[in-house]
Structure 1
Amino acid sequence: MALLPNNNLSNDNSEDFNFNLKKTLSVYLKQWKWFVLSLLISFVLTYISLRYTTPKYLAVAKIMLLDDKDNSAGALKDLSIFSEKEDAMVEDEIEVIKSRSFLRNIVKELTLNVRYYVKGRIYESELYKNTPIVVNFIESDSIINNTNFNFYVEILSATDFNYRTKEDGTAKRHAFGETIPTSFGGIIITPKKENIENSVGSNIRINIVKAESLAESLKDRISIAPIKKSSKVVQVSLVDPVIEKAKDIVNTLIHEYNDFAIQKKNEISKSTADFIDERVELIASDLVNVDDSIVRFKTGNKITDVASEAGQFLNSSVANEQQLDATKMQLSQLNFVKETLGDDSAKYSSIPSNLGAGDPAISALSARYNQLLETRRTLLKSAGEQHPNVLQLNQSIANVRQDLQQSINNSSKSLRIQIGSLESQSRRINSKILGVPGQERRLRSIERSQGIKESLYLYLLEKREEATISLTATSPSAKIIDEAYNSAGGPISPNKQIAYASAIFLGLLIPFLIFYTKNLLDTKIHNKEDLEKEIKNITVLGEIPKVKGNNVLVKRNDRSILSESFRIIRTNFDYIKRARKVENYDNVIFVTSTINGEGKSFFSMNMALTLANTDKRVLLIGADIRNPKLILGLDSQNKKDLAKVGLTEYLVDKSIIVGEAINTYEINGNKLDVLLSGKVPPNPAELLMSDRMKPLFDKVSEQYDYVIVDTAPSMLVTDTLLFSQYAGHTIYMTRADYTETRILNFAKELHAENKLNGMMLVVNDVKQSNFGYGAKYGYYGAKEKKGFFRRRT
């Protein structure tokens, strides 16, 4: 309910959001007329801009950048120093295409530095190929290409024209074909027969610009980029007011690039072929020298094949080592037997039987010696050592041992001689083997050099043939996929759809920003909702509409919006009054505000008249004795009928009774008792503290159904608080578009500290469009206002 304090507000975030959204939209919807006006202005300005803006067209061509593998540069492309990544190649070629040298050639080839314009009503249009006249220069192109000049030609007939250097300058009449002197040399203007008859009366401006500056301008305007990342297909585009001119520039740029690429490749092919010829001759000479080096090396070292001879040396060394090891083994065996034979303790021990592998005599003696020893051991089994047969065998064994020792000595000498010979032979073979790696290394070095020079020689012969062939079969570096065409089918600028969409956007944005900024900087309340948002724990009785004209007081049986708003406040007040149950002064209502000008007196008078409409006895007291305003509501009364005695006189003069100060007035059909403020005293605060105040309120509260007291602003002066104890209820006034939210803190403090009894709030002077809650739908029974877009039913 609107009559309940606002401390039981819902915490539902979604409801708050919906409410705030609606309120925010309503703030701007109220200003719909300004939005409509802004849209109309935006549309008009956009239409004028589109009407008189020079259209621009987009010319687009697509080319594929080709590899150079089969061309002159490709003769050496498989070498690492000539290889490159494809992405880098595409980026490099794009920079080549956009180079100033290419663009300067295009400017010269298409004569772009001489431009013709025909003047229209609003703007100039460039004539590209259908010019009615042609300007010829006597001076060289080098001078013309570095000249900035502007002049005007007015075609008078098929034979003559007016010439001016300034648009508003003095005209000179010349004939076509006549030499006209200028600062950079003479010029000759000739007509085009097919166009000149239709161009009589035309004003043409000829603009000559420097080729270098025009090339720089083209470089900034031409766009070249691959259609996809890592793609070799490149799109070349240019925006220009003349589509045919844009197409010619793009196509000429591509052809210029291809011509340059072919010329570059031919130059590279020729220089490559010359370079290869020189290298072939040098390498052929080096090959002859290497062959001679191999012959000299083999002859000097008496070898034919180092590898095979090294194998033979290794085989001989192995055989010699094997023989040497066998001979040493035999010598070791003979030395062992010799030691055994020389040992007296082992003179009857057997010896190895295979010692004579190298000498048959030793082998036979060894076998004879072992046989005698075996016979002796057999005989000893049956006879003693002194037996004649045993003694005879001992003599035979001694003789064989002596012969065997002699033979071993002789064989040992022979073996030692053989060992010495084998060792000498082994040293010779090893010496030759150790010399083989050095020979092989030197030979391999020579052969390696020979192989490198042979492979390089063959490689260069092959590349020379490729370079020679490429001179006669050079292909362009760019394959044309699509020649330049108008990609949009019409002008791309200005874009009407985007322009009008922007007009709508700006037409709505500008007033939105204005109102948004205004609302952002707004620190005032505007209606009941704003007040409830700032003060949540004080009841708001209602809103009073903004009143235009002089009808600021309600009438009896009045059905105006003003009267209905006060009836709502009266009803709400009665509801609160019954709920509060005040014991003393329940019918006394103080009306105050924070500052001056918030409508206390206006409200007090109308509230009293509204209560009087119910045939209640109502007394209106003007207690603002510093700045009395109630008298303004009695302007319709005859001044001589106004009471001369007021509240001031009553408080000062104790002889005056209450009845003498109260007078009855008829206002708009209602009879109302009024106690005016009286004269402005010098000490209002002290006067309001008079002990006569209590008897006054005691008496009037008994005699009247309602007592309305118009008091001073509470924040500016302390008057109201001095006798606020006599108030049963206090109506605190605020004013829409006037009361600032920051000063409402004072009202919060008064309520928190209970300095004013039964505080209730009222919003005064609210625009009907800002009425909160249902008030915006109008008052029941009031004449309905038809909106601009509202249909009649």
Structure 2
Amino acid sequence: MYPNSPQVNSNQPNPFLVSQESELDFRVILFRYLQHWPVILIFAFLGVVAAYFYNKFTTPLFKVESTLIIKDDDKSLGSDIFGSAGFSGLQGRSNIENEIGLLKSYSLAISTIGKLNLNVQYFKEGFYKMVEIYGNSPVLVQADFSRKQAVGGLFRLVVLDENRFELTTEGNGFQLFNPADPNFKTGTGLVLLPKSIYEFGETVSHEFFEFKVDKVSAIPGEIVFFRLLDTPSLALTYSSALSVTPSNKQSSILTLSLETPLRRLGVDYLNGLMETYLQRELDEKNRTSQNTIRFIDQQLSGITDSLRGSENKLQQYRSENKIFNLSQEGSVIFSSLQELEKQKSQTELNIKYLQTLKTYLGTGSTGELVAPSIMGTADPLLSALVQNLSELQADRVRLKANFSDQTPQVRDINARIKNTTDALQENVSSAITNTQNVLADLNNRIRMIERDINQLPETERNLLGYQRQFSINENIYIYFLQKKAEAEITMASNMPSNVILDFAKSGQGPISPNTSRNLIFGLLIGLIIPIGFITVKDFLNTKIEDPKELENQIKVPLIGMVGRNISGESIPVLNNPRSSVTESFRSLRADLTYLSPQKENLTLLFTSSISGEGKTFVSMNMASVFALLGKKTILIGLDLRKPKIAQEFGLKNDVGMSTVLSSTTSWKQVVKSSGYENLDVILSGPIPPNPAELLLQEKFGKIIQEVKKEYEIVVFDCPPVGLVSETKELFAFSDVNFFVFRQGYSMKGNTQILNNLVEKGNVSKIYGVLNDIHMDKGYGYGYGYGYGYGYGYGYGHNSYGYHDEVHIPWWKRAFRRRS
């Protein structure tokens, strides 16, 4: 990869690092979060506290359940015939989905609320919130919803004595309900009701409301709040809150459930809903009988007068002519004629019924249909069609309670009603023609018998005529009375097909809020918020933090890491030799024996991407650690633009490398003692106007050659290679080069500067060094045994007596600056 150095494959593990990656990653991640443990603990505590107060202030909800059995209707006559023809409505089987829709329908909720009188909610003041009461309110409010009412807002009622109370309004949450347009309410603004005193039983009238308050068990001084609610809004609330589900896919048992803060209210509503549902089903069953009775009553009103008139004429004729009975011959003729007349009357009644049925079908008044079997029509096909049409009509009523006319279900059943109606009209027309033929045959047979009647004496012939007319009317009258009685018996014996299996009941404990779950959820939220914030912050962080991430990004080995200098000393190697930072430089010195084996004299170059990453700090201490070993060492400051070495050693930067390069001064004249044994310094000197040109002179190379002959270790403190260009030329004079990064300071993108140097092949033996490792972030664990501050349990922070650390208060460290 680079000349004169071992080839390094970026895909191979770094030989200087241990391979316990999973353990290291876990520790790094753990310490990354644990350094913020106070914040995490505070948020977790706040999450639990918030969950506690949520449980405390949330109104508990109870689940009320009941069950219904939806029974299958018996198959109607002709259902087998029409089932194969595609008339599925003839199957007579209750559609579970339709029944669920009916139970959740708005119209059924309206009927139930009307029976239970739920239009007034009562409240009492609790310790920290309003508490709704039901069934034992000390007062009873009766509102007149046939006029405009202000609904939704609170009224405050204070009982003054046995007969009087004070009434005011609370807040401005009122809306105006108008019975002329019940589905749309308008805002009333602020309904102001000054403190007004009324008597119990007195009508309270206002521009926006009118109601009456009766005392039930109120005592003087008691305070009651109440709210008026209109029925449409309540119906929408209850229908949406109601849940109706089958026990399983094959079962016809429906479970009705309602979540409510008032168990008794939920029980009353579900029981009332089921009773209303069954009564509606019973009303639908009785509708056919009611239609039959109404039709018979219409017919009886006409036949009664005819019967009475024919009876009077018969009695009058008998009295006037002194004749009461027919002769034997007349009786035989009369019996034959009476039977034919009876058949004729039945046939005429059938024609009348069929014509009425045809009229109903033509005008769309199918709700008034009378069953053919009740009227004596024995045609099974006609009876099946009428019954099928009635069932389809009932299904459409149920569907339209929840769906609009444009939904597929309603459009499908409308098409089926039209097909059944068309088939019924065709069948009725055919039946009318056939019945008229039967009637014509009966008339012919009656005319033949009338010829025999003409041969009787006149007196007997006239008596037979009166008796014949009376007998016809009497038979029709008796027939209608019989059918009416049958319809009334049928209606009285009707029972709902569906049955209540279990009446509503409530569990003893609330289902909401779930105290334990909410506390756990609050704890998790309290942990997730700070951890998530830390994670996002780290994800968006553009600074180098993780040594392993740096190692993966650079194309050279990460040879060493230097811990944070908490002692505050600029040169801890010389001033605090037992510190862990000093040990990290010793470890780096030891590694050089592997990087440049069998080489006594070394020239080391230190650079970085930008200023402030600690290259001067690392170069000074690296030079110092060789001086401690007894090596004759010189530190040369080549950062001619921003010199810092003089300040750290307490020297005056009056002469230096810039002086040597810009004049005839010998380099030996500018060498200064650092004050420590075996360590000399050549400062950068006064800042020149052309630092790049000075370092690129041929003279500089000759000076370095002379320096190398005098010293065993030469250390270059170079300017940042990412900012100036001359540093690239200085690599040619060094044996080993170090590119310094600083944790939490260097940008991640700066690694590309080092990679570009390697890719272009201009630099040999260059290695990465990570400076200012933060032990509290957990990055110090596991990166080699003794590789600097925090690289193992033996050489980490406060390493069991092996290192001495001088702790400086944070507020002092904050104002110290490191190069």
On the 8 A contact 1:592/1:733 being kept in 2, the answer is yes
Q: Does 1:38 align with 2:28?
A: no
Q: Secondary structure at the match of 2:698?
A: coil
- Distance in 1, matches of 2:745 and 2:117, equals 72
- Distance in 2, matches of 1:146 and 1:231, equals 46
- 2:659 maps to 649
On the 8 A contact 1:649/1:679 being kept in 2, the answer is yes
Say which of 45, 68, 91 aligns to 1:63: 68
Q: Does 1:235 align with 2:286?
A: no
The letter for the 1-side match of 2:657 is: L
Instruction: Measure how far apart 1:63 and its partner are.
Output: 0.8
Q: Does 1:9 align with 2:12?
A: yes
Q: 1:742 to 1:59 in 2, by over 3 A?
A: same
Q: Does 1:709 align with 2:805?
A: no
- 1:280 maps to 376
Structure 2: runs of 5+ lacking an equivalent: 1-5, 172-191, 296-369, 380-430, 446-479, 784-789, 802-819
Say which of 546, 553, 557 aligns to 1:539: 557
Say which of 106, 109, 115 aligns to 2:121: 115
Say which of 591, 603, 606 aligns to 1:572: 591
Say which of 627, 637, 649 aligns to 1:612: 627
On the 8 A contact 1:153/1:164 being kept in 2, the answer is yes
The letter for the 2-side match of 1:646 is: G
- 2:215 maps to 191
Aligned-pair identity in percent equals 27
- Distance in 1, matches of 2:251 and 2:482, equals 32
Q: Does 1:561 align with 2:580?
A: yes
Instruction: Measure how far apart 1:733 and its partner are.
Output: 0.8
Instruction: Measure how far apart 1:652 and its partner are.
Output: 1.3
On the 8 A contact 2:653/2:686 being kept in 1, the answer is no
- Distance in 1, matches of 2:769 and 2:92, equals 80
Say which of 119, 126, 131 aligns to 1:125: 131
On the 8 A contact 2:543/2:743 being kept in 1, the answer is yes
- 2:669 maps to 660
Q: Which has the larger radius of gyration?
A: 1
On the 8 A contact 2:557/2:767 being kept in 1, the answer is yes
Q: 1:556 to 1:41 in 2, by over 3 A?
A: same
Pairing of 1:195-344 with structure 2 (within 5 A): 196-197=218-219, 201-271=221-291, 275=370, 276=372, 279-280=375-376, 290=438, 293=441
Map Cα deviations across residues 36-78 of structure 1 (whole Å, 9 max, x no partner): 33322211111111111111111111110123439xxx68877
Provide the aligned C-alpha RMSD in A.
Answer: 3.8
- Distance in 2, matches of 1:185 and 1:722, equals 94
On the 8 A contact 1:528/1:772 being kept in 2, the answer is no
On the 8 A contact 1:118/1:202 being kept in 2, the answer is no
Q: Does 1:511 align with 2:511?
A: no
Q: Secondary structure at the match of 2:577?
A: coil
Pairing of 1:411-490 with structure 2 (within 5 A): 469-487=489-507, 489-490=508-509
Instruction: Measure how far apart 1:245 and its partner are.
Output: 0.7
- Distance in 2, matches of 1:89 and 1:539, equals 76
- Distance in 1, matches of 2:510 and 2:128, equals 19
Pairing of 1:368-379 with structure 2 (within 5 A): none
Q: Secondary structure at the match of 1:761?
A: strand
- 1:380 maps to none
Pairing of 1:389-404 with structure 2 (within 5 A): none
Q: Does 1:593 align with 2:612?
A: no
Instruction: Measure how far apart 1:746 and its partner are.
Output: 2.0
Structure whose residues are more often helix by fraction: 1
Q: Secondary structure at the match of 1:563?
A: helix
- Distance in 2, matches of 1:100 and 1:106, equals 10
On the 8 A contact 1:118/1:126 being kept in 2, the answer is yes
Q: Secondary structure at the match of 1:765?
A: strand
- Distance in 2, matches of 1:287 and 1:41, equals 88
Instruction: Measure how far apart 1:481 and its partner are.
Output: 1.4
Instruction: Measure how far apart 1:10 and its partner are.
Output: 5.5
Instruction: Measure how far apart 1:92 and its partner are.
Output: 1.7
- Distance in 1, matches of 2:759 and 2:377, equals 113
TM-score if structure 1 supplies the norm length? 0.68
TM-score if structure 2 supplies the norm length? 0.66
- Distance in 2, matches of 1:483 and 1:491, equals 19
Map Cα deviations across residues 122-179 of structure 1 (whole Å, 9 max, x no partner): 3221111121211234x4x523789566421123455443211235974234443444
Pairing of 1:756-775 with structure 2 (within 5 A): 756-768=763-775, 769-771=778-780, 773-774=782-783, 775=790
Q: 1:158 to 1:5 in 2, by over 3 A?
A: farther
- Distance in 2, matches of 1:4 and 1:18, equals 28
- 1:134 maps to 140
Structure 1: runs of 5+ lacking an equivalent: 298-459, 787-793
Instruction: Measure how far apart 1:248 and its partner are.
Output: 0.8
Instruction: Measure how far apart 1:271 and its partner are.
Output: 2.9
The letter for the 1-side match of 2:619 is: S
- Distance in 2, matches of 1:728 and 1:76, equals 108
On the 8 A contact 2:123/2:132 being kept in 1, the answer is yes
On the 8 A contact 2:246/2:253 being kept in 1, the answer is yes
Instruction: Measure how far apart 1:181 and its partner are.
Output: 2.5
Map Cα deviations across residues 716-739 of structure 1 (whole Å, 9 max, x no partner): 111212332211111111111222
